[in-house]
Amino acid sequence: MFGGTVVPVYPVRPEVLQLQPYIPGKPIAEVQREFGVTEVIKLASNENPLGPSPLAVQAIGQAAGQVHIYPEATGRDLREALAAHVGLPADWLMVGNGSDELLRLLAASYVRPGDRVVVPGCSFPNYRTVSALFGAAVAEVPLVAESMDLGEMARQAPGARVIFLCRPNNPTGGVFPEDVFHHFMAAVPPETLVLIDEAYHEFDESEFDSLGLLRTFPNLIVTRTFSKAYGLAGLRVGYGMARPEIWQPCYRVREPFSVNVPAQAAALAALQDSAHLTATVENNRKGKRFLAQLCESMGLQYVPSQANFVLIDLGRPAGPVFEAMLRQGVIVRPMGGAGRPNAIRVTVGTPRELLRFAAALHESLS
């Protein structure tokens, strides 16, 4: 009751009540307020520590004067630029408000109540969320030796509507080999859609020709994003690649202007700045080497990563260590929600940020 008015209870879909809200990495401003720390570094959300391309920043400024006009609904210019970038026809590409929107659109278009969807354990939680939202029965296949169990996922494929994969996997950074994936796809029924989330593709130094695989397997979808290597997480723009017939129903349920004007302009500019991408990848390569050496010197177990983060097992509950690091102005990601209560995930930062992380980790563990 509020102000004498009885507020009715509105029925909520049971699928919604079963969902767990996504908990993002702790914001810098929140840590500053909570702990009174002025200098805070965030190594929790796998963002680009070098920031966006200067060309992208310039494009955002130029696009600011056009924000009173709706963006081109399908992102045609961006799709055509991406098509030239990856070597696929433009109608094989769809852009979205981050690759998260594409996951939801695919679920909205193809997943019916009661359908079975197969997802990997200890992976990005949104695969489960978008599937359960539309009433799917979600089968989770645990990792084996920090890798996706494609054999077991193939055994669960008959009758499944969609199978979600992540390469490199978040939060472990692991990958599966291309020959193993070929055997997996040969065992998956052609009517089952298979999606590979390649959000960290630009950091992956292993051999895996996802574009060639797209041409080979008509039921394959690959999604990528500008949020990670391109440093545009705050703008939310991603893209997917698949046969045009897979995307056609998605346009029926898609918001018509979901990728805004500055986001499209920034993504177009970022694609052209190969020097910034090269610097990002090189910083990441050196940073992962630093983190590996740090873990080895401290006797901590870690998972070799093909992404821009490293999963570190602290050998003790990670919660108190996470809190102790917050008090020192260093934000990492505790992985209890992913079933790893002793682990933290650390984004590769700049050399200065990684030195500060190392000092805070030593202090927190002692």
With respect to residue 201, please indicate whether it lies within any of the assigned structural domains: yes
Q: Which of 254, 272, 290 is the last residue of a domain?
A: 272
Query: Residue 3's pLDDT is what?
Result: 61
Q: Say whether both 182 and 250 belong to one domain.
A: yes
Q: Which of 223, 240, 272 is the last residue of a domain?
A: 272
Q: Do the beta carbons of residue 195 and residue 159 sit within 8 Å?
A: no
With respect to residue 31, please indicate whether it lies within any of the assigned structural domains: yes
Question: In this model, does residue 344 exceed pLDDT 80?
Answer: yes
**Digit-coded pLDDT (tens) for 135-147:** 999 999 999 989 9
Q: Nearest CA to 49 among 323, 361, 309?
A: 309
**Digit-coded pLDDT (tens) for 292-338:** 999 999 999 999 999 999 999 999 999 999 999 999 999 999 999 89
* Structural domain that includes position 47: 23-51+275-365
Q: Say whether both 255 and 331 belong to one domain.
A: no
Largest CA distance in the chain: 67
Residue 152 or 8, more confident: 152
Alpha-carbon separation of residue 58 from 71, 78, 217, 268 (angstroms): 18, 17, 39, 11
- Coil, helix or strand at residue 37: coil
Q: Say whether both 117 and 200 belong to one domain.
A: yes
Q: Say whether both 47 and 60 belong to one domain.
A: no
Q: Say whether both 295 and 268 belong to one domain.
A: no
With respect to residue 10, please indicate whether it lies within any of the assigned structural domains: no
Query: Residue 20's pLDDT is what?
Result: 80
Residue 8 or 123, more confident: 123
Question: In this model, does residue 208 exceed pLDDT 80?
Answer: yes
> What's the total number of domains in the chain?
2
With respect to residue 7, please indicate whether it lies within any of the assigned structural domains: no
Q: Say whether both 330 and 221 belong to one domain.
A: no
Bond prior to 256 in cis (omega within 30° of 0): no
Q: Which of 217, 238, 272 is the last residue of a domain?
A: 272
Average pLDDT, the chain: 95
Query: Residue 8's pLDDT is what?
Result: 75
Question: In this model, does residue 23 exceed pLDDT 80?
Answer: no
With respect to residue 6, please indicate whether it lies within any of the assigned structural domains: no
Question: In this model, does residue 237 exceed pLDDT 70?
Answer: yes
With respect to residue 322, please indicate whether it lies within any of the assigned structural domains: yes
Q: Say whether both 231 and 349 belong to one domain.
A: no
With respect to residue 324, please indicate whether it lies within any of the assigned structural domains: yes
With respect to residue 15, please indicate whether it lies within any of the assigned structural domains: no
Residue 266 or 24, more confident: 266
Q: Say whether both 292 and 194 belong to one domain.
A: no
Alpha-carbon separation of residue 261 from 35, 78, 105, 150, 248 (angstroms): 37, 11, 21, 39, 23
Query: Residue 214's pLDDT is what?
Result: 96
Q: Say whether both 334 and 242 belong to one domain.
A: no
We report the CATH number of the domain holding residue 154 as: 3.40.640.10
Q: What is the pTM of this model?
A: 0.93
